[in-house]
Structure 1
Amino acid sequence: MKTPKLLLVIAGMLAFPAAAQSDDGAAEPVEVMVLGMYHFANPGLDAVNMEVDDVLAPRRQREIEILAATLAEWQPTRIAVENEASAPSFELDGYAEYGDLVTSQRSESVQVGYRVARMLGHEAVFGYDERGGPDEPDYFPMGKVMEFAKAAGQDGLIEELLAELQETVAAEQARLPEQSIAESLIFHNREDIVGAQHDRLYYSLLSIGNGNEQPGAELNAYWYMRNAKMFAKLDMIAEPGDRVLVLAGSGHATWLKHFVRRMPGYELADPLPLLQKAAALSEDTER
């Protein structure tokens, strides 16, 4: 866990061990690799949901093993997955049951995150997700946006955006049977594609409103808040010098990368070379 800055100052004064430092005495940066994912076991909570084949099937298990081994070559020191976990440790209890979970649970958190952690001998996997609840706001108030748009005669834009999403998902779903998992993930980690889709969906919704009521702007603000809280948890999990592999639904990737790029003491690592290597290895295995 990251120690609050005031306590770091006190610790230094009391001569406790210092944080990791580079040769010039500066704290080493935290390297973060944000791996955009599609959901292996889709809970059906997105605006448009994609159906995927069974990742527990032998072919997919071989591909996931190759993917995990390739990601492990980056030597992450911590692995964080899109699950909720309790502060202050943010450690996921389920990781201890890896042996049972990996043969029964289809989520990418288990199949990729837990698997890489086990390969590297990690004692813990961390959860950083932030979701709405009784004491939390609705971080994605799409229903309110749609209701306003319909009443204001702006529902044509909503229909257009959803149609575009459905077309994109249908095209991807059609490609899945012919692609390895690593090859499919390349699409989810192309920043030119994912970033453009993010901007098209969220920023288009800013026009849903009338000046007095701004449901589109509110949705953008709450979505930003959720992702900011997710990154804030990552910041509490990471220590200077860490290499953190972050598994994230690709809808979160744009904002999480934004924070990594702009947060002092952080550096962003690109997952594409590893995905391309894993895709090539998977193709060789299938021959």
Structure 2
Amino acid sequence: MRGVNGRFALALAAATLVASVACIAAPAQATDPQPDADFLFVGSFHMNNPGRDVHNTHADDVLSAKRQREIAEVARLIARFKPTKIMVEADTTSQAKLDQSFAQSCQGKRPLTRNETEQLGFRIACDQKLKGVVAVDWNDMGPIKDEASVDFPAAIERHGQQAQYERDKAIGKAVNDVDQHTLDTGTIGDMLLRLNSPEWLRANAQAYFRIGLYGTEEDAIGRNWDMLWYGRNLTIFNNIVRRTEPGDRVLVLYGAGHGNWLRQLATDSGKYRVEDTQRWLKDDAPTQ
């Protein structure tokens, strides 16, 4: 037994020596990166009713006099952030066309369309004397080449998950019904306050969690769909970072469903001081 104990003691001493040398050789721990830009995300409903989501809020005509007054007020509130760059939900390949439309609208030669990119983004950028807005969207399949691998409605049928899907749709409908009621009875500002509230963002995040469970371990279609969604948001965020310079005050105007991930990525990156959106959507928010 003494020989075994001796070998154990020798091995332990050697391991301790290696660990000590490693500690001496290791460089001093790097400090966390310090934020060098400000980040304000404002999630919006799609004002032109494209109808591409599972649950869609139907917007009345945002070009009506009433809605235009409300949008102008929201733009005034957000503009107090004094953005140096406004990032919008437009594909990066459309930047030249976006620049042309912005210049024409800002010069009064072209009316704003119903899209929130123009109603808020163009309006604020022109008011702040910016050169335009910045396209940062990406909506491709990426490394997922087979669309069938993300077709979760088909997986629901294959695996008899219709009852689960109906329960999930009922939850989503209940959230959307409150959204619709807020828009129908309130102002554009009321709607944006709801879409950027912790309660709405929590419900939205849970919806993606539920999608991730469709299919099975072997046929993980829901997981694949979530991977595609998360990958899209990471790509968008990378586009935002690559277009940010130290000292920038970045305003991101996007569909509200992107709010959880883009805010989280901005916070976790260490690059940004992430602003409280609701604070800037209220009239009592302090100016810069």
Tell me the TM-score normalized by structure 2: 0.79
CA distance in 2, matches of 1:237, 1:106: 26
Confirm or deny: 8 A CA contact 2:40 2:276 kept in the other structure: yes
184-193 or 199-208: bigger deviation? 199-208
What amino acid maps onto 1:207 in structure 2?
A: L
Confirm or deny: 8 A CA contact 1:66 1:278 kept in the other structure: no
Confirm or deny: 8 A CA contact 1:48 1:165 kept in the other structure: yes
Tell me the TM-score normalized by structure 1: 0.79
Summarize deviations over 1:18-40 as a string: whole Å, max 9, x none.
xxxxxxxx976111100011111
Tell me: CA distance 1:164–1:58, structure 2 relative to 1, closer, same or farther (3 Å).
same
Match status 1:189 vs 2:196: yes
Q: What's the offset of the Cα at 1:115? A: 0.4
- What's the RMSD between the two structures over aligned residues? 2.8
Match status 1:227 vs 2:213: no
- Matched residue of 2:91: which SS? coil
Q: In the alignment, what sits opposite 1:114?
A: 122
Confirm or deny: 8 A CA contact 2:77 2:282 kept in the other structure: no
80-89 or 183-192: bigger deviation? 80-89
- Matched residue of 1:192: which SS? helix
Q: In the alignment, what sits opposite 1:250?
A: 256
Pairing 1:207-222 to 2, within 5 Å after superposition? 207-222=213-228
Q: Which runs of 5+ in 1 are unaligned?
A: 1-25, 280-287
What amino acid maps onto 1:123 in structure 2?
A: K
Q: What's the offset of the Cα at 1:56? A: 0.6
Match status 1:65 vs 2:75: no
- Matched residue of 1:82: which SS? strand
Confirm or deny: 8 A CA contact 1:33 1:246 kept in the other structure: yes
Q: What's the offset of the Cα at 1:130? A: 0.9
197-206 or 87-96: bigger deviation? 87-96
Tell me: CA distance 1:89–1:139, structure 2 relative to 1, closer, same or farther (3 Å).
farther
Q: What's the offset of the Cα at 1:198? A: 2.5
Tell me: CA distance 1:185–1:142, structure 2 relative to 1, closer, same or farther (3 Å).
farther
Tell me: CA distance 1:138–1:105, structure 2 relative to 1, closer, same or farther (3 Å).
farther
Quick one: percent identity of the two aligned structures? 27
- Matched residue of 1:49: which SS? coil
Q: Which runs of 5+ in 2 are unaligned?
A: 1-32
What amino acid maps onto 1:276 in structure 2?
A: K
Q: In the alignment, what sits opposite 1:126?
A: 134
124-133 or 38-47: bigger deviation? 124-133
Tell me: CA distance 1:216–1:181, structure 2 relative to 1, closer, same or farther (3 Å).
same
Confirm or deny: 8 A CA contact 2:149 2:224 kept in the other structure: no
Q: In the alignment, what sits opposite 2:91?
A: 84
2:61 alignment partner, one of 29, 54, 58: 54
What amino acid maps onto 1:166 in structure 2?
A: K
Match status 1:105 vs 2:100: no
Match status 1:145 vs 2:152: yes
CA distance in 1, matches of 2:208, 2:155: 16
Pairing 1:27-38 to 2, within 5 Å after superposition? 29-38=36-45
CA distance in 1, matches of 2:110, 2:242: 27
Greater CA radius of gyration, 1 or 2?
2
Q: What's the offset of the Cα at 1:151? A: 1.4
Confirm or deny: 8 A CA contact 1:140 1:222 kept in the other structure: no
Q: In the alignment, what sits opposite 2:207?
A: 201
Summarize deviations over 1:4-30 as a string: whole Å, max 9, x none.
xxxxxxxxxxxxxxxxxxxxxx97611
Q: In the alignment, what sits opposite 1:7?
A: none
CA distance in 2, matches of 1:28, 1:159: 44
Tell me: CA distance 1:142–1:166, structure 2 relative to 1, closer, same or farther (3 Å).
farther
Summarize deviations over 1:27-61 as a string: whole Å, max 9, x none.
76111100011111121111111111111111111
- Matched residue of 2:270: which SS? coil
CA distance in 2, matches of 1:161, 1:62: 37
